[in-house]
Structure 1
Amino acid sequence: MEIQELKTIEEMLPHLSVLQELYPKLDLESYERMLQAMIPNNYGQIALFSEGKCIAISGYWLGTKLWCGSYLELDNVIVCEAARGTGAGKLIQQYLEEKAVQLNCTLMALDAYTNNFKAHRFYYNQGYAPKGFHFIKILNEKGLT
């Protein structure tokens, strides 16, 4: 398996089908529009390939907050159903952790849906622990992917 950093919209768009495993309603036009807004704001992606086929993707954000300083936030770690249990998620997490260390980040963060118990177990096993609650207030339900 090989990890590649995807830095441009042109490199990210061909792997939409992986994202659609989590967001089946996400279409190419919407995805491109979102990437145009996200990339200039410290968003990046990595993709994991096996035999030339993309089997997993993770977005990530680089930022700084008052409470923690520099951080790397994992965003939408998606492993294709057929590749689950192969260590793909662990490879992605390790790669991004090495990147965070190289960038002198104080911590890594992520959100996992409250009902995604498999993800909770996985991230606990990778050394993550909850720090608080991520509260949301939906203002436009039609805008959700």
Structure 2
Amino acid sequence: MSQLLELTTKEEMLAQLPIIQQLYPDYTNEIYGDLLDKMIPHNYKQLIVIENNTTIGLAGFWIGTKLWCGKYLEFDNVVVHQDFRSKGIGTIMTNYLNQKAIEENCNMMALDAYTTNFGAQKFYMNHGFVPKGFHFIKYLKH
């Protein structure tokens, strides 16, 4: 049976480095820790799914407020362990965070998906997400 936990401390999140490395293989404890030091003070948290003492899914999330939408919950860096994909883990995390957004009185949920990640796009559309616009970026460091 899967267990869901919300992580709020750097130490808890640092322990998730192995699954984070499935998204970012070059991340070390130091790189990851430095990023967490900058993110946690801005309300960054993580949701993990544990099965048999192994993290099989992780979704970072933030609750914030923007002028155009008011209060929102944003998914950030969602990863399902490569051995557990297509087993409903993404749905478990999405449903949990959907309920959290409702309980937190958010107006909407948001996320970014790469334009080339058609599987993620299909997954999120099947869960009620719709494209709202473009997320433009300009690289300043190469």
Q: For the superposition of Structure 1 and Structure 2, which TM-score range results when normalised by the shorter chain?
A: over 0.9
Q: Could you tell me which amino acid in structure 1 is paired with residue 125 of structure 2? A: Y
2:23 aligned residue: 22
TM-score of the two chains, using structure 2 as the length reference? 0.97
Residue by residue, what CA displacement relative to the aligned partner does 1:9-66 show, whole Å, maximum 9, x if unpaired? 1111111110111111111101001101100101110110011110111100111011
1:95 aligned residue: 96
**Alpha-carbon separation, structure 2, partners of 1:22 and 1:30:** 14
Q: Could you tell me which amino acid in structure 2 is paired with residue 27 of structure 1? A: T
Q: Could you tell me which amino acid in structure 1 is paired with residue 63 of structure 2? A: L
Q: Could you tell me which amino acid in structure 1 is paired with residue 57 of structure 2? A: A
1:53 aligned residue: 54
Q: Say yes or no: does 1:12 pair with 2:13.
A: yes
**Alpha-carbon separation, structure 1, partners of 2:15 and 2:66:** 32
Q: Could you tell me which amino acid in structure 1 is paired with residue 97 of structure 2? A: L
Q: Report 1:1-145 matches (<5 A).
A: 1-141=2-142
**Alpha-carbon separation, structure 1, partners of 2:114 and 2:29:** 24
**Alpha-carbon separation, structure 2, partners of 1:131 and 1:97:** 18
TM-score of the two chains, using structure 1 as the length reference? 0.95
Residue by residue, what CA displacement relative to the aligned partner does 1:102-134 show, whole Å, maximum 9, x if unpaired? 000000000001100000010000000100000
Task: Among all aligned residue pairs of Structure 1 and Structure 2, give the percentage whose two residues are the same amino acid.
Answer: 50
2:16 partner SS: helix
**Alpha-carbon separation, structure 1, partners of 2:6 and 2:119:** 26
Instruction: Name structure 2 gaps, 5 residues minimum.
Output: none
Instruction: Name structure 1 gaps, 5 residues minimum.
Output: none
Structure 1 residue ranges (4+ consecutive) displaced by more than 4 angstroms after TM superposition? none
Q: Could you tell me which amino acid in structure 1 is paired with residue 126 of structure 2? A: N
**Alpha-carbon separation, structure 1, partners of 2:113 and 2:26:** 19
Q: Could you tell me which amino acid in structure 2 is paired with residue 41 of structure 1? A: H
